[in-house]
Structure 1
Amino acid sequence: MRRVVFVALLSRDGRLALVADDLPGAPPRWVLPSGSVRATEPYREAAVRVLHDAVGAMPVRGGAVEGCCWAQVPVPVGRNRREAHVFVFRLAAAGAPPEHLPWKRATHWAGPEQWQELCTRRDLPDVDVLLTGYLEGWIPDGRITLGP
């Protein structure tokens, strides 16, 4: 089973950091920064590692909500069995977010009205609901299951 973490990094004004994916031969899409979880690594530790790659030494604080897409059985044809967790972080510095993050790919800061369109992945549903609920305070702290 492949284990993956996604980092939802929010600016103080509620915009989400998205990066361009780098699939060869395909037009770029805006996606959440992500990475694979190492064999014995906890999900949160992997998320902090991916976050550090994305922001370098910029001050951030972790949110108390974690979105989970649990591995499905049976697996759809042509897909690998995969479990994904989404961790929410916020920039600690006031003011506008930096135009570019140290992340290796281009950065785009998307407002809530763009989340559903820009971070839609058929294998990572309901991220826009998770983030809206986090910002508005109606999603409780802890793990939230995403999707069906």
Structure 2
Amino acid sequence: MCFDEFHRLGLVQYSPGLMSLPLRACAPGESYRAAACRLAAGSAFRFGGTVARLDVVPSGGGVRRNARLFTVHVEGGRWPSQLWLPWRQALGEVAHLGIPELEPFLEGYLEGWIPDGWITLTPDGHH
């Protein structure tokens, strides 16, 4: 998840009319962090202190998959984002990703009550 200096969330368009968080699948043998760095290549950024682990089930069904949400703050340069929205507004644009825990995670991260480190997000709200 990419934030600008105003805490707006950066979204990208992967298909017409469908916005998403910037996503990158891991290459074989690649770590989640290395994939995040590859996604941000060419940008001036810093990683935030919090990473979320979660299982994602796309809306409409599909295969559950493991995911990691890295918090990234843009500090300049090019970024693969086409739209910057206040984070609460951005949630409506990415509901199709099937991450019900995203709202409390973003709120806690931006308000500072989620500590730095790895956190596991679960659908029942237990972290």
Relative to the length of structure 1, the TM-score reads 0.70
Query: Paired residue for 2:53?
Result: 68
Structure 1 unaligned residues grouped into runs of 5+: 1-7
Identical-residue share of aligned pairs (%)? 32
Q: Could you tell me how far apart the structure 2 residues matched to 1:85 and 1:121 are?
A: 17
Number of residue equivalences: 121
Mapped contact 1:124–1:147 kept (Cα < 8 A): no
Preserved CA contact (<8 Å) 2:20 2:97:
no
- The 1-side partners of 2:110 and 2:99 are apart by 19
Answer yes or no: is 1:87 the counterpart of 2:74: no
Alignment of 1:1-148 (within 5 A): 8-22=1-15, 27-52=16-41, 56=42, 58-70=43-55, 79-93=62-76, 101=78, 103=80, 107-148=82-123
Say whether the 8 Å CA contact 2:50–2:119 is kept in structure 1.
yes
Q: Distance in 2 between matches of 1:133 and 1:142?
A: 13
SS in 2 for 1:121: helix
Q: From the superposition, tell whether residues 49 and 136 of structure 1 become closer, same or farther in structure 2 (CA, over 3 Å).
A: same
Q: CA RMSD in A?
A: 2.4
Query: Higher strand proportion, which one?
Result: 2
Q: Deviations over 1:74-107 (max 9, x none)?
A: xxx96224111110100125xxxx8xx553xx61
Amino acid at match of 1:119: V
Distance 1:35 1:134 in 2: 21
Alpha-carbon offset, residue 39 of structure 1: 1.7
Asked if structure 2 preserves the Cα contact closer than 8 Å seen for 1:66 and 1:142, the reply is: yes
Aligned to 1:3: none
Of 123-132 and 58-67, deviating more is 123-132
Instruction: Give secondary structure in 2 for the equivalent of 1:44.
Output: helix
Q: CA deviation at 1:122?
A: 4.6
Structure 2: tracts of 5 or more residues without a match = none
Which portions of structure 1, spanning 4 or more consecutive aligned residues, are displaced by more than 4 angstroms?
Answer: none
The amino acid across from 2:68 in the alignment is H
